[in-house]
Amino acid sequence: MNTKSHKLKILHTSDWHLGRQLYDRKRHDEFELFLNWLTELIKTENIDLLLVAGDIFDTTTPGNRAQELYYRFLTKASQSCLRHIVITGGNHDSPSFLNAPKELLLFLNVYVIGSISDFLEDEVIILNDKTQTMEAIICAVPYLRDKDIRTVEAGEKMDDKNRKLIAGISKHYESVGQIAIEKRNGNANIPIIGMGHLFTAGGRTTEGDGVRDLYVGGVAFVDENSFPECFDYLALGHLHSPQKVGNSDSKRYCGSPIPMSFGEAGQEKKVIVVEFEGRMQKISEHTIPCFQELVRVTGDATAISLKLNEMKSSGSNAWLEIDYSGAETFVGLTDLVYDSVAGTKMEVLRIKTRIATGKTLTAIDDQETLDNLDPSDVFIRCLDAHQIEEPDRASLLLAYQQLVMRMVENDRNEE
């Protein structure tokens, strides 16, 4: 039995969302700059293994430019110092689209797990070094869809559904972890690395990131104890803010590489590097440059004007979201904004007025607008407006959540 300790350097990233737009503004240039930066980081840090934990694309039917960026990056990365690339599917990805070229990508040492398999062994990937000696085991768990891990029963309540989802996720990870232990074949120096794309309890979300829509009512809020102890590191995707799971240093979200909404504007974006020697690890974070500044300008007409003039003087090229919160309707807001940015490199992507929205919404507080609510919030307001009481309320909300989940998880590319 070989007990030699291997050195292995891993780069953890996720949630690229290639093809994502911001208020109909295409962002291909930002994605290309990020992938070029990532390629250079792989070289300078001498990375051996790249993990991409889901949501490679923003939709199940990515456009040609998004696909071009993806395959061009994989080609360049595979020709660098990288020995392995492991990619798992997220809730935004089409499993069948990701899986279609997986056999071809294996020739580039790219392993793709787009969806759950009938054979759990398919999610447990053995990685060998240049001498064909085992150096790591990856439990490459993709986004686990409701239908993959839970059996629907007539008349079940929401709490029952949530418990079954959490139990199903935990059992899945326990099973792949056990397979990994068996494949390690007694060599305690081989690290086992888990991957996942899911929401964990206490996770931080950001306005406009599209995460909260899927997990209303506590659905699938697994905690750090839901993952097997054999994982030496857990590389997660789905949440866009870099963060730890609970208090664990070795269970992490790296976050999205660029701000996906103005709610993420100014947020420091990161990737994570994990250096293994045997199972001993050293974790470091690398800040991703800001490739396109996003700025939300909030206030009354005077405050907005002052801020835009300040940005104009500094030569800003930011994309702008204007959020007018004045007490009175200001008819000339659009003219004020566009006159202020005329002759600059700044672009106005959206102008919104809280007063107009508030008159149609019946807001809970002065800061709430329709943009702050996800579809489930709106549905709950409808239930309130129609005075729907229990038990009908819980049944309707459960049915609504199931419909939303099915719509998001529908794979348009599947035959």
Helix (H) or strand (E) holding 33: helix 28-44
Q: Is 203 helix (H, G, I), strand (E, B) or coil?
A: coil
- Choose which CATH entry (3.40.50.1010, 3.40.630.150, 3.30.160.720, 3.60.15.10) describes domain 295-409: 3.30.160.720
- Sequence spans of domains, the chain: 7-287, 295-409
> Which pLDDT does position 89 carry in this prediction?
96
The reported pLDDT for the residue numbered 388 is: 78
Angstrom distance (rounded) from CA 285 to CA 275: 11
Q: pLDDT higher for 154 or 94? A: 94
Fold of 7-287: Purple Acid Phosphatase; chain A, domain 2 (3.60.21)
Specify the residue for token string 């809280």.
354
Has residue 210 got a pLDDT over 60? Answer: no
Mean pLDDT within 121-138? 93
Distance of alpha carbon 320 from alpha carbon 322, whole angstroms: 6
For β-strands 49-53 and 25-26, DSSP reports them as unpaired
Average pLDDT rounded to a whole number, residues 202-206: 70
Q: Which of 78, 90, 5, 93 is nearest to 48 (CA)?
A: 78
Do 123 and 139 contact (CB within 8 A), yes or no?
yes
DSSP-based three-state secondary structure for 375: helix
Higher-pLDDT residue of 365, 410: 410
Question: Rounded to 5 degrees, what are φ and ψ at 204?
Answer: -90, 130
Q: Please determine, for residue 191, whether its predicted confidence score (pLDDT) is greater than 70.
A: yes
pLDDT at 203 > cutoff 90: no
Q: How many residues does the chain have?
A: 415
The pLDDT of residue 109 is above 80: yes
Cα atoms in the 13 Å half-sphere on the side-chain side of 412: 8
H or E element: which one contains 88? strand 84-88
Output the pLDDT for position 197: 95
pTM: 0.84
Token pair, residue 302, equals: 């005077």
Task: Decide which of 42 and 382 is more confident.
Answer: 42
